[in-house]
Structure 1
Amino acid sequence: MDYLSAAATILYGLYYSVVRLYHLYPVHQRLLLIAPPKSRLPHIIWTLMCSLGYTWHVLYLTLMPRFDYSYNMAFNITIGMIHNFLWILYSLPASLPILRRFPTRPKTYRPAYVSKAAVLVFATTAAMCLELFDFPPWERMIDAHSLWHLATVPIAAYWYDFILEDSMDEGWRGRARG
């Protein structure tokens, strides 16, 4: 369950990142999820791709005679690196129009907090090194895997704070004024 839950978390992180960065939101009209099929199609396709990808991953790992640890690590690292790459793009200066962070604002709109994404990606990657470059336990108690789990606690809290800050940015509120 640890490995499958980790894969679900990492894949959901990528799912959310693509929805956020490419504005693939399901269209809501009041309390009903009613929208023209064309506007919801990219969101539906992306949701199906991620759901089927995770289902395939779980089936592959659970139906094989032995758990394929190498494949599981490759899957998680690949998904995680794509996630990290997208947030690095997000944190780049507004003069590089790779992503449109806030579609209702001018292309040059760049809140100061967006660079936090790059710092969090760096911290996540550094912590991941603990998982990849395992070492024997110190004093038969503390090993690389335990330190990896310890490092993820503050990183998760800071990612959460970043996502909240991003969601409350003025750039999300209606059309640009002036």
Structure 2
Amino acid sequence: MKLAFSVILLLTIVAVCYASSGDVQPEYLSCVEKCTSQTDISQLPLYLRLLRWTVKQDCGYHCMQNITQYAIDNNRYIHQYHGKWPFQRFFGIQEPASVIFSILNGVMHLRYFRLLKAQVPDTYFLKKFFMVIPITGMNAWIWSTVFHIRDTQLTEKLDYFSAGLYILYGFCVVVLRVFYVRGIWAYIWTMLCASLYLGHVSYLANMSRFDYGYNMTACIIIGTLQTSLWLVWSIIQYTRLGNEERRPFAWMVGVSVVLVTFAMCLEIFDFPPIEQILDAHSLWHAATIPLAPLFYKFLLHDTELETRVTKSAKDKRSS
């Protein structure tokens, strides 16, 4: 489920680097300059000031909207501004649709956090590791929400860092589960992953300029490894002979990672937002909402089987 986050980072970088033709439009620049000279910060509504909109940024928004509306009315090319499509903001919220879908994704992770806590036995060794999955998921979607509410250098970094944590922790867990890493080695592996993440964040945070290329490469490598392990493992488990060893529910985790990968294709076929609200990125966020349950249902089925097999083995030894 994490590979798509990695690809989104790449596509975002491409958008920032190549898709800001509106920024240099003479009519846009002159409009912003004129508006800024005639506007005072006190004239901005309170909700804009609370969200730290400056006069120049607010002027840029209104100039962008005027130019975009003219382009729509006259069937002309719609430009991007500062690496983003022109969206209709709502009470200062820059991308309302992505905000709503990010919140719904977070709610889905919260729901399965509660189910994992209630249904997975405390005696199951991996429960404590599995419980962190929805926590990192909720964290990622919280900062995605904040970033889409207000795009700043800080919220952008927090969005990247939380997505990176979600990706790396997913890789950490799949290694624990697929290779049956247990005991002290499980904690050593987890600490190693934590150290890698802290090193990753420290490197990016201490740079004078955010290294998008390095961050993208690191996330894609880890996300691809994680997705590949789940997919190969699910195929092997689903097709195994022998009723005691076969896991007929293993298809869930394989299908979930494949469908999320397909959903990310919405980002590839980028297009101007419909009614200046729904774009490819927001639709990708919408597509992931019903896919998260498939992964968590697999975890619930898998832990049920694992605990049943473990209990049966203990009963045999005791008898």
Give TM-score, length-normalised by structure 2: 0.44
Cα deviation 1:135-169 (Å, max 9, x = unaligned)? 43233211222122222222222211111111111
- What is the number of residues matched between the two proteins? 155
**Residues in 1 aligned to 2:269 and 2:204: alpha-carbon distance in whole angstroms:** 23
Structure 2 residue identity aligned to 1:145? H
Say which SS state the counterpart of residue 92 (structure 1) adopts. helix
Contact 1:127/1:148 (8 A) holds in 2: yes
Higher helix share: 2
1:108 shift after superposition: 7.0
**Aligned residue number for residue 71 of structure 1:** 214
Say which SS state the counterpart of residue 43 (structure 1) adopts. helix
**Residues in 2 aligned to 1:76 and 1:131: alpha-carbon distance in whole angstroms:** 17
Give 1:16's match in structure 2, choosing from 170, 173, 178.
Answer: 173
Matches within 5 A, 1:16-165: 16-26=173-183, 40=184, 42-94=185-237, 109-131=245-267, 134-165=270-301
1:7 shift after superposition: 0.8
Cα deviation 1:82-106 (Å, max 9, x = unaligned)? 1111111211235988xxxxxxxx7
Structure 2 residue identity aligned to 1:140? Q
Structure 1 residue identity aligned to 2:226? H
Structure 1 residue identity aligned to 2:313? R
**Residues in 1 aligned to 2:252 and 2:259: alpha-carbon distance in whole angstroms:** 10
1:132 shift after superposition: 5.2
Say which SS state the counterpart of residue 159 (structure 1) adopts. helix
Structure 1 residue identity aligned to 2:293? A
Contact 1:11/1:54 (8 A) holds in 2: yes
Say which SS state the counterpart of residue 154 (structure 1) adopts. coil
Structure 2 residue identity aligned to 1:152? T
**Residues in 2 aligned to 1:73 and 1:135: alpha-carbon distance in whole angstroms:** 22
Contact 1:21/1:90 (8 A) holds in 2: yes
Contact 1:94/1:108 (8 A) holds in 2: no
Q: Percent same amino acid among aligned pairs?
A: 41
Say which SS state the counterpart of residue 162 (structure 2) adopts. helix
Give TM-score, length-normalised by structure 1: 0.74
Structure 2 residue identity aligned to 1:129? C
Q: Which structure would you say has the larger Rg? A: 2
Classify 1:49/1:81 alpha carbon distance in 2 versus 1 (closer, same or farther; 3 Å). same
Contact 1:94/1:107 (8 A) holds in 2: no
Q: Which runs of 5+ in 1 are unaligned?
A: 27-39, 98-105
Residues 1:5 and 2:162 aligned together: yes
